[in-house]
Amino acid sequence: MQDASAATDPLSDMLRALHLTGGVFLEASFSAPWCVLSQVEPADCVGFDPVPRHFIAYHYVCAGELVLQVGDEAPVRACGGDIVILPRNDGHRIGSDAQVAPMNAHELLQPGDGTLLAHMAHGQGTPDAHFFCGFLAHDRPDDPLLAALPRVLRLPVANATAGQWIESSLRFAAHRPAPGEVLSPALLSKLAELLFVEAVRQYLRDPTAACQGWLAGLRDPMVGRALGLMHGQRERTWTTGALAREVGLSRSAFAERFTALVGVPPMRYLIQWRLDHAARRLAETSDPIARIASDAGYESESAFHRAFKRAHQMTPAGWRKQHAAQAAQGAVARVP
C-alpha cells in the first residue's frame, strides 16, 4: 500500500500529459549574411494524421552558429551542439544577424521527396550555420507548463545529463539516409521529446531563471511538495487543510502561497488536474468509467459525470466515443 506521504514528480506528470509527437522536417545551410522568418505550420507536418494544430518548435545546430530573436526580446545565440526550443511556437527571426532584412524562405526551399528532408541553402563555400528544424506536436494549448516557460529555451546538448548520447543519437537520426532508407519518425520524435524534457529540467535547475506560474510553484519547496502529493495521489480525498499539514504550513498560509505562485487555489487546481487525467484515460484506455471516476477522487459516477461535463462540455461517454472515432479515422487514412 502506498505511503500517505508519498509524492510523485509533477513535472514528469505534466510532460506525459502533453503526449508529445513530432520530428525533423527541414535541414538548412547558410552563409552570412542571412536571416529568415520561421514558425512551424501544419504544412511542415506532412505525413502526420491528423495534422497537428499546436506545436513546440526547435532548431538543432550541427555546426557554426546562429542568432534567434522573438519579437523585441534579446537575441539568443546558439552554436554547434545547441538546441533552441520555442515552447509556444512563437514566430521568430533566425540568421547570422537578426537585424538583417529577412529573405524569402519559400524561394530557397527544396522540398523533400519522402526519403530526404526538405532542404534550404544560401550562400557559397562552407556554411556558417548548419542546422535542423523540427517540432513537437501536442493538443494542450492552454497547458500551464507551456504557459509558464519563457518564449525561448537554449539547451547546450553537450552539457545535458545525457549530452554525449543525445548528440550522437540526434546526429544519427538527422543524417541523410542512403537511397532506399528513410528517417525514423519514431526515433526523431523520441529524441526531440527527450531534449525538450532535458531543457525544461535544466531551466528549473538554473537559480537565475525567472520562473513564474506553475513552474514557480514547482520550484517552491512547500508548494512543490503539495503538487507532488496531488499528482501522486489523485484518488485521495485531499483538502487544503490536509495539504497544509503535509507541508508544515497553516491552512491560510499554504492557500495564500499556493494561489500566489500557481495562479489558482489548491482545490481548483486539483479538480482540473483530476479531470484532465480522467479525460486522457477515457481517450486512451477501455477502463470502465466508474473506475476512472473513483481513481479521480469522485465517490459516485454521477458526480464525476457532472464535473466532467462542466469542464469539457461533453459527457465522459461522449468524450470517449469522439476520440475513438478520431482514432478510427486516422487508422483508415494510414492504410495504403
The enclosing domain of 252 has a CATH number of 1.10.10.60
Q: Which three cell numbers stand for residue 128?
A: 556558417
Residues 47 and 167 reside in one and the same domain? yes
For residue 167, being part of any structural domain is answered with yes
d(CA 69, CA 188): 25
Write out the chain's pLDDT in tens, 336 residues. Answer: 344 445 567 888 788 778 788 877 888 999 999 999 999 988 887 766 667 788 999 998 988 999 999 999 999 999 988 889 999 999 999 999 999 999 988 888 888 766 667 889 998 878 899 998 989 988 777 788 888 899 999 988 776 666 666 666 666 655 555 555 555 556 666 777 888 888 888 888 888 888 888 888 988 989 999 998 888 787 788 999 999 999 999 999 999 999 999 989 999 999 988 898 898 889 888 899 999 998 888 889 999 999 999 988 999 999 999 888 776 665 444 444
The residues, any chain, with a CB within 8 Å of residue 179's CB and separated by 6 or more, are 115
Q: How many domains does the chain have?
A: 2
154 and 294 share one domain: no
pLDDT score recorded for residue 164: 66
Q: State the pLDDT at residue 121.
A: 92
Q: Which amino acid is at 334?
A: R
**What is the C-alpha end-to-end distance of the chain, expressed in Å?**
48
Q: Single out the residue in 205, 234, 249 at which a domain terminates.
A: 205
Q: Is residue 210 part of a domain?
A: no
Same domain, 224 and 191: no
Burial of 14 (0-12, 13-18, 19+ CB in 10 A): buried
Q: Tell whether 30 and 165 lie within a shared domain.
A: yes
Residue 329 forms part of a structural domain? no
141 part of a folded domain:
yes
Whether residue 265 sits in one domain with residue 122? no
Domain limit, last residue, from 171, 205, 239: 205
> Cis omega (within 30 of 0) on the bond before 50?
yes
Looking at the domain assignment, is residue 334 inside a domain? no
Check if the beta carbon of residue 57 is closer than 8 Å to that of residue 42.
Answer: no
Q: Are residues 256 and 149 in the same domain?
A: no
Query: Tell me, what's the pLDDT at 161?
Result: 66
> Which CATH number does the domain housing residue 120 bear?
2.60.120.10
Segments forming the whole domain that contains residue 305: 220-324
Q: What span, in angstroms and rounded, lies between the C-alpha atoms of 211 and 148?
A: 7
CA distances, 162 to each of 75, 154, 157, 194, 298 (Å) = 27, 16, 8, 10, 41
- Per-residue pLDDT at 204: 87
CB distance 279 to 296 below 8 Å:
no
pLDDT for the residue 2? 42
